[in-house]
Structure 1
């Protein structure tokens, strides 16, 4: 008995839907495309929409890489993101595991404390953090900024791990206990490897916050000795002005924005497949 395969022709509704989705995608990507094209224009044609960019012209990028503080700002940002993510993963994974598995009232209450912490605006803590940093003589230091990031995001990442842990069969931990594994050994050897999708989700979600944060470094790294990429972009126009360029040199400013975006964009492209999986699997059970 022969079987024939029939392909459905696209309906009018699906065609319109695809067109609308394409227009929405174009709407969101257009500013970044304009930004890239601006980096290949000279200053006289930056705002000319009909002037074609010269993609062999890298003068604006040379100005960025010639900046004496750009690479320092890049390394500081990478250091802050790396240390904060590593500590957040260690602390949040353990906290989420205990909250989701423990039957004690204290740890059950911790879950609601984490939820309550999410509704507190970060701006309400700025004065407290500033006074604390001044009292401890930790202002304008990377460790203090890392601690502030952790205090604001550990609750959220712990909830991600708690939700994901509920989808892991508890029988695996019971079997490990029968084999003589303690709680910590069971977590490290059995549970944590199964939390890799959640860890990838934490990395993807949190690194965007740390990488793009401008308010935190502006307040807590205000002396200019510990620059980050966002502070470098903020101060870059002044640097360009000292090079006898126009104060409104949008070509070099656009170039530093593009260069600062490339690392985080590449990171997202390589890890995006884990983002949806990590956010949804934990919601299947519990």
Structure 2
């Protein structure tokens, strides 16, 4: 007789390979330039794996730098109630407990003890938005949902729901001890979106296009794609960072745009330069994703 009071894990689960140095195949690891030698227009190496959650319709696991992300897709699942002619769509993004969230002092209203990088916890974590999510988790969830929504053919799934659950296992800001960094917040949002797009493809849900994203930082007229965490002690006042999401096969249609920084200090041409940089990165990520799925079919 089974123990009904205990939650049993799903059958045939796969333990993810933690770290690029683990037993990964050539198809799983995209060998971009290393952090120390890459150019401003180059991407870092990232590890990608699909199908790691057996009981989900689609799943993906991604590592890049200090960021580790896991995404699961459930649906289309039937919903009760009145008939609706198209599926509903939702995204929920959560950090593991005790992981420092980027810009948490600003958005989550946390406090940090003197001489320590540990915070006392959010004092206003659920001021608005989704129940149970911090303000940062709500921001990331809303951005991912807004960017992915135009790509899904919801009309194909009436009276159904499609749900994406994102778990952030590690961030670069938590590893470096940074507390207020725009690049960390937008950087993790960028890779969460790319990982979520891969999970959607793995689920078999009909899509108009695969949404991919790019993130870029402009500082002192120098453009850097896929920026790493900038130390909170550096001068970030004259820095502009943005993440832009595209459907590249649909004439590079922009489906998501998030910018942090004082835009009044930058000209319109510089903002356009940032968007073009994000589009360049988005195309590179898209090419790698296409290569990954092609290799899995062989």
TM-score normalized by the length of structure 2: 0.27
Q: Which has the higher strand share?
A: 2
Q: Relative contact order (C-alpha < 8 Å, sep 6+): which is higher?
A: 1
Pair member with larger Rg: 1
Structure with greater proportional helix content: 1
TM-score norm. by structure 1 comes to 0.27
